[in-house]
């Protein structure tokens, strides 16, 4: 898998997820085989204004490489200054978010709102390309709503502006993360471009990854929610591609991985913040098990590493009682 000058070891990418794909989770995903990881989405305007918290989002460990930084914004001059300021950092590519559906982002003319303004989107790409020799890529949707599915023309504008690859989430902004992923539109984008196209949306296992490749012809897949609580998905997809079967994940595997993520999170954020950041996602490690609501409640109450260990013991007792 090649994106501009960047060579990736495989075609399975971890999507940037706000509040989830911090350095701790990215390190775990990389260990499990993710071919590329990304920072959480970073505001170019906040970076331009020297916001300290935003700058913290750019921190990463060498173990995570290759890594892309994902920026969002709608002002070409601001994006250009931001890229210039961070170009000396060891990021492997610059990704522009043009697919985020969150209202506060869209209302500011950013994220998926840019799907309505291809000319501005192209100028943002050009502004970034002027300041870096690293690949500049874009994450987009198939359109803003069902009446304005313009992914093909939009992606062509991005390629003409210098984008080295595009990731297409197969839903409109109006759909958020619900409804059917329209793989046929991703296929149309792939057929229209010469740069790599990365398929995104509802890739949760080897079967759905194979369907994305077969139905779209895409060059790689990007995995977001399918990786939450399941960083083994990258290992499993690589094994399936090689015709082998990965080992089944046990309760102990899940508990050990969650505790490792907690240790990495603590080293990054300190114990209180590090553990609190896991409250919302810890339950995903045990998604699909009985007592799901009770399990989520146990994790939402933890504030220390010791309490997390105790919660895991209680989850074990719940599952063994079945």
Residues designated as active site: 100
CA-to-CA dists, residue 195 to 95, 210, 266, angstroms: 14, 21, 39
Q: Which residues pair with 34 in a beta bridge?
A: none
Residues near 311 by beta carbon (within 8 Å), at least 6 away in sequence: 282, 298, 299, 301, 302
Measured in degrees and rounded to the nearest 5, phi and psi for residue 144 equal -80, -40
Query: Which helix (H) or strand (E) covers residue 79, if one does?
Result: helix 76-86
- Angle at alpha carbon of residue 214, lines to 213 and 216, rounded to 5°: 65
Cβ atoms within 10 Å of 64's Cβ, excluding its own: 23
Cβ atoms within 10 Å of 281's Cβ, excluding its own: 17
**What is the phi-psi region of residue 155: left when phi exceeds 0, alpha when psi lies from -120 to 50, beta otherwise?**
alpha
* Separation of alpha carbons 288 and 293, rounded Å: 11
Q: Directed axis angle between helix 76-86 and helix 118-129, to 10°?
A: 30
Identify which of 7, 10, 13, 163 has the alpha carbon closest to the alpha carbon of residue 95. 163
Assign 3-state DSSP to the chain and report helix, strand, coil percentages, each to 5: 50, 15, 35
Identify which of 271, 268, 295, 294 has the alpha carbon closest to the alpha carbon of residue 284. 295
CA 19 centroid distance within chain:
11
**What is the phi-psi region of residue 291: left when phi exceeds 0, alpha when psi lies from -120 to 50, beta otherwise?**
left
């Amino acid at each position: 898998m090649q994106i501009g000058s960047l060579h990736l070891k495989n075609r399975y990418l971890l999507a940037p997820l706000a509040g989830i794909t911090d350095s701790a989770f990215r390190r775990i995903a990389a260990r499990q085989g993710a071919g590329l990881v990304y920072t959480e989405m970073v505001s170019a305007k906040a970076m331009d204004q020297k916001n300290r918290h935003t700058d913290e989002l750019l921190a990463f460990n060498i173990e995570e490489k290759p890594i892309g930084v994902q920026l969002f914004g709608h002002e070409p001059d601001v994006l250009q200054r931001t890229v210039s300021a961070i170009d000396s950092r060891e990021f492997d590519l610059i990704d522009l978010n043009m697919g985020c559906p969150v209202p506060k982002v869209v209302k500011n003319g950013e994220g998926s709102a840019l799907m309505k303004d291809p000319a501005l989107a192209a100028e943002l790409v050009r502004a970034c390309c002027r300041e870096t020799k690293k690949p500049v890529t874009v994450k987009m949707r198939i359109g803003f709503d069902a009446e304005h599915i313009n992914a093909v023309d939009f992606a062509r504008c991005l390629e003409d502006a210098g984008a080295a690859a595009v990731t297409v989430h197969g839903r409109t902004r109006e759909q958020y993360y619900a409804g059917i992923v329209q793989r046929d539109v991703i296929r149309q984008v792939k057929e229209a471009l010469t740069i790599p196209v990365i398929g995104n949306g509802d890739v949760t296992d080897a079967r759905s990854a194979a369907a994305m490749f077969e139905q779209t012809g895409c060059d790689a897949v990007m995995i977001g929610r399918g990786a939450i609580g399941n960083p083994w998905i990258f290992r499993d997809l690589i094994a399936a591609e090689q015709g082998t079967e990965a080992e089944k994940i046990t309760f102990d595997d899940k508990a050990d991985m969650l505790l490792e993520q907690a240790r990495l999170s603590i080293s990054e954020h300190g114990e209180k913040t590090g553990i609190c950041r896991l409250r919302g996602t810890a339950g995903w490690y045990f998604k699909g098990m009985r007592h799901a609501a009770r399990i989520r409640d146990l994790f939402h109450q933890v504030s220390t590493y010791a309490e997390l260990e105790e919660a895991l013991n209680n989850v074990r007792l719940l599952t063994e009682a079945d």
